[in-house]
Structure 1
Amino acid sequence: MASCLVNVKEVWDRQRKNSPIYALLLEDIEVYHAETGLIKARLLVKSLHVNSKGTLHGTLSACVVDWASGMAIASHGATSTGVSTDMSVSFLSTAKEGDIVEIEGRTGKVGKTLAFTTVTISKETEGKRTIVVQGSHTKYVRQ
């Protein structure tokens, strides 16, 4: 498990340096758990993460789905997280500035050419967990 987390953090550090959008939107994301096929992270929602109505922006949500699916692929020991072929994002609830969202990225299958992942973004309010965003992402992973 520890080597999984180390690899995921190394891949993330490399991506953050090479991706201005990730560096801007996800600079403060904290990856705190990784095992093969699963990563967990958290992010404090800030003003740059919300839309004009003050709730989590769809662009940020899609960015997190993209990022977390790649990190889930990295949990398999990969150094490259692939190229998007298909992504679906469902908005089920809201989060606002000051909320801490929990992010869980899972791989369903990582094959020779494609990886299938799911990502859940949730928040906890008064002891109750609410799913904010559910995403699925397919990536081309052939090295």
Structure 2
Amino acid sequence: MTGELQQVHKVWERTRSNSPIYGFLLDEVDVYDAEKGLVRARLQVGPRHLNSKGTLHGAFSACVTDWAGGLSIASCGLDSTGVSTDIHVNYLSTASTGDWLEIEGRANKVGNSLAFTTVSISKKSKSGLAIVAQGSHTKYVRSR
């Protein structure tokens, strides 16, 4: 396991125990890869991730954008991943129960006070990966 992945797992375990929404929606997520500024995870869609129409809930995608953006900041060595100042999600497709999601969070820039991240949520299909949602997330981070 790389140092970045160990750092991400450490921050994720602390965050999971302090955030009931993350614990509820992301309890079974598998964070399987990290390098500086990049985190990859996967999760199978279950009933708790769905809206009233039986497809992936928009609030889930926004939560994942917040979560993966924060972990991408953690992969840069930060123990505290900051507080959100802006979050934006584009919903491009959908997913349903049983679909496997691939989540990729990138820290595009981590400065002294702000960090800028992008997140993509894709589902596995027979022809490869289909993007479900893309997000951008800006966080205030403490000066190092």
Q: Same fold (TM over 0.5)?
A: yes
1:48-67 mapped onto 2 (5 Å cutoff): 48-67=48-67
Q: Distance in 2 between matches of 1:44 and 1:134?
A: 18
Q: Distance in 2 between matches of 1:23 and 1:128?
A: 29
Are residues 1:10 and 2:10 paired? yes
Q: Distance in 2 between matches of 1:44 and 1:123?
A: 9
Are residues 1:132 and 2:132 paired? yes
How far did 1:124 drift?
Answer: 1.6
Q: Distance in 1 between matches of 2:122 and 2:116?
A: 20
Are residues 1:73 and 2:73 paired? yes
Q: Which residue of 2 aligns with 1:85?
A: 85
Which runs of 5 or more structure 1 residues have no equivalent in the other structure? none
Q: Which residue of 1 aligns with 2:42?
A: 42
The alignment covers a number of residue pairs equal to 143
1:99-114 mapped onto 2 (5 Å cutoff): 99-114=99-114
TM-score of the pair, normalised by structure 2: 0.97
Are residues 1:98 and 2:98 paired? yes
Percentage identity across paired residues of the two chains:
61
RMSD: 0.9
Q: Distance in 1 between matches of 2:126 and 2:41?
A: 20
Deviations 1:47-80 (A, max 9, x none): 0001111110001110000000000000001100
Q: Give the ranges of 4+ consecutive aligned residues of structure 1 lying more than 2 Å apart after TM superposition.
A: none
Q: Which residue of 2 aligns with 1:119?
A: 119
Q: Distance in 2 between matches of 1:44 and 1:95?
A: 10
Q: Distance in 1 between matches of 2:20 and 2:94?
A: 26
- Helix, strand or coil for the counterpart of 1:112? coil
How far did 1:129 drift?
Answer: 1.3
Q: Distance in 2 between matches of 1:8 and 1:129?
A: 24
